[in-house]
Amino acid sequence: MATVRTGKEPDLQDIFAYVDAHREQFLERLFDYLRRPSISAYGEGIAEVAAYIAGVLSQLELKARVIPTEGWPMVFAERHDAPGAPTVLLYGHYDVQPPDPLDAWISPPFEPQIREGRIYARGAGDNKGQHFAQLLALDSTLSCRGKLPCNVKVLLEGEEEIGSPRMPDFVRAHRDLLAADLVITSDGPVDPSGRSRILFGVRGVLSFELRARGAARDLHSGNWGGVAPQPLWTLVHLLATMKDARGNITVDGFYDNVLPQTELEVRALADLPVDEETIKRSLGVEQFEEPSERGFAERISAWPTLTINGFHGGYGGPGSKTVLPCEAVAKCDIRLVEAQTAAEIFAKVEAHVARHAPEVEVVWQGGMDPSRTPLDSPFTEPIAEALAAAQGEEPLLVPAMGGSLPDYVWTKILGVPAFGVPYANADEANHAPNENLEVARFFRGIRTGAAILAHLGNMGPVRMHGRDAAGSRRHTAPPRLGPGAVVQSPQSF
Amino acid sequence: MATVRTGKEPDLQDIFAYVDAHREQFLERLFDYLRRPSISAYGEGIAEVAAYIAGVLSQLELKARVIPTEGWPMVFAERHDAPGAPTVLLYGHYDVQPPDPLDAWISPPFEPQIREGRIYARGAGDNKGQHFAQLLALDSTLSCRGKLPCNVKVLLEGEEEIGSPRMPDFVRAHRDLLAADLVITSDGPVDPSGRSRILFGVRGVLSFELRARGAARDLHSGNWGGVAPQPLWTLVHLLATMKDARGNITVDGFYDNVLPQTELEVRALADLPVDEETIKRSLGVEQFEEPSERGFAERISAWPTLTINGFHGGYGGPGSKTVLPCEAVAKCDIRLVEAQTAAEIFAKVEAHVARHAPEVEVVWQGGMDPSRTPLDSPFTEPIAEALAAAQGEEPLLVPAMGGSLPDYVWTKILGVPAFGVPYANADEANHAPNENLEVARFFRGIRTGAAILAHLGNMGPVRMHGRDAAGSRRHTAPPRLGPGAVVQSPQSF
């Protein structure tokens, strides 16, 4: 990719003034959206809200359509005002979590109310409030300038809260429709410190079960101990071959595709101002997991994990029971880092188990590849500059979050760099009662959205090289790096 | 101990004829006993039945008494007709299991009924029918001969079905009262083949819990995987240091006190006609636990085990959940063999855990030492001859059962050899609905009881050397060994 910088910061004062002048109207428009339930888990209001938000996009003179899927529909819109300028795909989701437990809400979940500077409603932060801020950024820019400074596509999903089951196939089937130079998602929270951040990636995840069986039934441990196979011991010994006590994952070939961190990533991780002692206190632990020499940010961002999510077999009640259980199950997940894939690692787990405990069944429970946009992407600097311009301070740069989101559909399937630019406060209580979004962050989101459009437009003509656009680790131009903290999105998988 | 054999088999025909002539009366007397509930778990009928059975003993002209304890009382009786002859302590229990589920009984549990050659009633086999057969053996012998050929003590416990919590202290506190040359218990079943057997020992048992804690709460595996300690992994790695995949228990010092099997025991185990393929089929397994070179009887009788009775932590529902659990518990039991003790092995487990995973808590859940009477005990031959005389075939000799019973109170506390001589059919359904005792086995038990008294009396004067009487492994005179099968008592711990 080649970028031509104008060398001049875009002037955004008229747009910021417009936003300030329309606070009441913007809030009322958001409330109108928040009042409409769209609960994907139950299908409640989905069709109505898809049509509603497509209408909002049409009013902005975007070419909008509701695209049916085998599940809940996608809402897509686009507007191309800036030939030669980058095309940004803004991704969000119009569905919300169920509001239960209802009686824990101070005000009803679909009757938005402002209290102490926060908008309380289901979807306020996750995700209506955040993508609606992006749409109002389009609105404000169009109102002030009559056109957008870069080309914009909008994709709003209706199944994010039920795991985005159709997203990978949808993206595969609509490569041309979705073709863009970059994807920006405004979802999840800013840093707990309140500072904004740009997220460049996520760890992937592979979930699987190990199932071991012994005799046809539970047995008396005295009568059969030393005779009957013990599936709990089988799993203990198998698991002990998969990860050692030093924290190294010893599944054969596991680290083959773990790419070393780039210099930029190493520097970014080292720069993150993490207070490990405070984290330990909040967790109630004295030590982090082995290996002890790894820093917090490096652990979360740069290393894969093998977690036992659950291990069950035999008696679990009070006191003792001299039983020799006939079955045992361990549920595990592996957090993946670039360039591992869920399919590759599952095959390696299967091969490892076949070699060490062939009687154990390995059952795939789900997988999501990791995603990583290089910190030296040509879009890093304009986005970071836009955040600084809109918010008055440098954003933190986070190479990868610990949790997993299907960002790989952008970087791996669509083949473009993907950035997370969250607007919500860290205590947004998404998925929980009394979900909320700080009013100030809503307006800051509108300003930021407008600034990003302007800074992308300011890049000048962009020439993409197809899927290489996801970025190259050979790229050496360092972006500006701010200090930051690795954070956790409570809504990630 | 010195024994003087007369060299002459005692003549028992008059007693056997007496038993045959009193079948109806003996059955009616047993039924009268079985009609009286004595459920230790609820205390129901306990005091009444203790008094009742003490009355039965008094009618036999034994000096009988009910001895209070802090729980349900013991019933003790004795009669010394044969100065210089051995004193045998007959142990049994007058309490029974609760009869639930009541509606699974074909005839009511406390209304004994004979169907197809079996006496159906709670307590028919476990244990009223069996120790009542012993009492009727005393009755028959006294009726025919006017005195007993050896000295007899009877101890009937009222808390066996709730774990004999007071037996060890009771025996410690009543060494003189209980002093005897040997203990015989008629409880549990004969060999599944129907053949009688003599049981020389049991494995002990130690139950303990391993408890591991991580963070103060369950965590998101993506947000905290690679950071927070994982108690499930802690237990996996700890357990893997306690037993290897080859089946060797690797707790430091674990085998220090495991005595090698005597030549007699090795021979007895090798002679047991075990059909391993049939056992594997009945268990639904293709292989026994490692080490694969051990035979079935050797596994059950001669080796300690480390069983994980239950292992629990984290998510256990359907599908996957990306949780990093904050606690894990493994419940374990160790089956002990001579000369291990529960206290010794628990201390070794504690020391091992302190060395390998000091953060893990080890919690004692109960223990029972093993018991082993040498096969070359001077009483082996008279008992085996008595069984052959009463039943027409050689009994099987079983060095030790796999399960655990508090036989150590005899061999370790009282310091005398202890023998199990069960009379019940293998499908007695003890602890279950429709508990039963074959009528033929009830009368065979009476005959056998009488024959044992006679053969013990026939030994001539016995001079005991205090607690050495439990037997010495230096004793070399081989008893007659018959083929046999290792069996499992469904009521053992």
Dihedral sign of CA atoms A424, A428, A433, A439 in order: negative
- Name which of A206, A227, A315, A346 to mutate to probe chain B: the one with the most chain B Cβ atoms within 10 A of its Cβ: A227
Give the distance from residue A356's alpha carbon to the nearest chain B alpha carbon, in angstroms. Answer: 10
The answer to whether B478 touches B381, Cβ cutoff 8 Å, is: no
pLDDT reported for residue B463:
55
Who's near B13: CB < 8 A, 6+ residues apart?
none
> Model pTM?
0.86
Residues of A in Cβ contact (< 8 Å) with B227: 279, 283, 288-289, 296, 299-300, 402
Residue range A15-57, pLDDT digits in tens: 999 999 999 999 999 999 999 999 999 999 999 999 999 999 9
Q: Which two tokens stand for residue A297?
A: 């940010």
Q: Give the residue among A481, A2, A485, A483 at the shortest CA–CA distance from A264.
A: A481
Enter the ipTM: 0.86
Residue range B91-133, pLDDT digits in tens: 999 999 999 899 999 999 999 999 999 999 999 999 999 999 9
CB contact under 8 A, B308 and A313: yes
Question: How many Cα atoms occupy the beta-carbon half-sphere of B226 within 13 Å?
Answer: 26
Nearest-angstrom CA–CA distance, A324 and A313: 10
Average pLDDT over residues B443-447: 98
Please state which of the ranges A63-72, A334-343, B217-226, B376-385 shows the lowest mean pLDDT: B217-226
Instruction: Give the chain B residue nearest A370 (alpha carbons).
Output: B222
Give the distance from residue A227's alpha carbon to the nearest chain B alpha carbon, in angstroms. Answer: 5
Query: If you write DSSP's letter for every residue of B272-292 in order, what string do you get?
Result: S---HHHHHHHHT-SSPSSPT
The answer to whether A312 touches A329, Cβ cutoff 8 Å, is: yes
3 state DSSP class of B3:
strand
Instruction: Give the chain B residue nearest A236 (alpha carbons).
Output: B236
**The domain B2-202+371-470 is classified under which CATH number: 3.40.630.10, 3.30.365.10, 3.40.190.10, 3.30.470.10?**
3.40.630.10
Q: Give the residue among A282, A300, A128 at the shortest CA–CA distance from A203.
A: A300
Instruction: Give the chain B residue nearest A302 (alpha carbons).
Output: B226
Nearest-angstrom CA–CA distance, A83 and A86: 8
Nearest-angstrom CA–CA distance, A308 and B314: 8
Residues of A in Cβ contact (< 8 Å) with B305: 221, 225-226
> What is the CB neighbour count within 10 angstroms for residue B219?
22
| Burial (CB count within 10 angstroms: exposed 0-12, middle 13-18, buried 19+), residue B294 | middle
Residue range A407-432, pLDDT digits in tens: 999 999 999 999 999 999 989 999 89
Nearest-angstrom CA–CA distance, B182 and B167: 17
Residues of B in Cβ contact (< 8 Å) with A404: 222, 322
Give the distance from residue B324's alpha carbon to the nearest chain A alpha carbon, in angstroms. Answer: 6
CB contact under 8 A, B221 and A321: no
CB contact under 8 A, A227 and B203: no
Distance of CA A80 to the CA centre of its chain: 27
Nearest-angstrom CA–CA distance, B26 and B135: 11
Q: Which two tokens stand for residue A172?
A: 């595969």
A-B contacts at Cβ under 8 angstroms? 266
Q: How confident is the model at residue A10 (pLDDT cuts 50, 70, 90)?
A: very high
DSSP percent split of chain A into helix, strand, coil, nearest 5: 35, 20, 45
Nearest-angstrom CA–CA distance, A239 and A329: 11
Average pLDDT over residues A325-352: 97
Residues of B in Cβ contact (< 8 Å) with A296: 227
Nearest-angstrom CA–CA distance, A130 and A424: 7
Residue range A353-389, pLDDT digits in tens: 999 999 999 999 999 999 999 999 999 999 999 999 9
Residue A479, pLDDT above cutoff 50: no
Torsion angle defined by CA atoms of residues B309, B311, B312 and B316, in that order, rounded to the nearest 10 degrees: -90
CATH of domain A204-258+304-368: 3.30.70.360
Residue A483, pLDDT above cutoff 70: no
Proportion of chain B above pLDDT 70, given as a percent: 92
pLDDT reported for residue B470:
44
- Looking at residue B29, its amino acid is R
Residue A160, pLDDT above cutoff 90: yes
Helix (H) or strand (E) run with residue B391 in it: helix B380-391
The answer to whether A89 touches A184, Cβ cutoff 8 Å, is: yes
Dihedral sign of CA atoms A320, B68, B42, B409 in order: positive
Instruction: Pick A243's closest partner by Cβ from B221, B233, B284.
Output: B233
Residue A5, pLDDT above cutoff 60: no
Strands B63-67 and B74-79: antiparallel
Nearest-angstrom CA–CA distance, B338 and A64: 82
Instruction: Give the chain A residue nearest B205 (alpha carbons).
Output: A222
> What is the CB neighbour count within 10 angstroms for residue B145?
17
Distance of CA A312 to the CA centre of its chain: 30
Residue A391, pLDDT above cutoff 90: yes
Please name every residue paired with B119 in a beta bridge, in sequence order, or none if there are none. Answer: B114, B437
Proportion of chain B above pLDDT 90, given as a percent: 84
The answer to whether B53 touches B75, Cβ cutoff 8 Å, is: yes
pLDDT reported for residue B492:
56
The answer to whether B232 touches A210, Cβ cutoff 8 Å, is: no
- Region of A393 on the Ramachandran plot (φ > 0 left; ψ -120 to 50 alpha; else beta): beta
Residue range B328-377, pLDDT digits in tens: 999 999 999 999 999 999 999 999 999 999 999 999 999 999 999 999 99
| Burial (CB count within 10 angstroms: exposed 0-12, middle 13-18, buried 19+), residue A409 | buried
Nearest-angstrom CA–CA distance, B218 and A283: 10
- Looking at residue B397, its amino acid is L
Q: Give the residue among B409, B392, B387 at the shortest CA–CA distance from B479.
A: B387
CB contact under 8 A, A335 and B219: no
Q: Give domain limits for chain A.
A: 13-202+371-470, 204-258+304-368
Who's near B261: CB < 8 A, 6+ residues apart?
B269, B298, B302, B399
Question: How many Cα atoms occupy the beta-carbon half-sphere of B37 within 13 Å?
Answer: 15
| Burial (CB count within 10 angstroms: exposed 0-12, middle 13-18, buried 19+), residue A171 | buried
pLDDT reported for residue B474:
32
Nearest-angstrom CA–CA distance, B441 and B222: 65
Average pLDDT over residues A174-178: 98
CATH of domain A13-202+371-470: 3.40.630.10
Residue range A274-330, pLDDT digits in tens: 889 999 999 999 999 999 899 999 999 999 999 999 999 999 999 889 899 999 999
Q: Which two tokens stand for residue A180?
A: 């863009």
Give the distance from residue B209's alpha carbon to the nearest chain A alpha carbon, in angstroms. Answer: 8
DSSP percent split of chain B into helix, strand, coil, nearest 5: 35, 20, 45
The answer to whether A206 touches A333, Cβ cutoff 8 Å, is: yes
Residues of A in Cβ contact (< 8 Å) with B214: 285
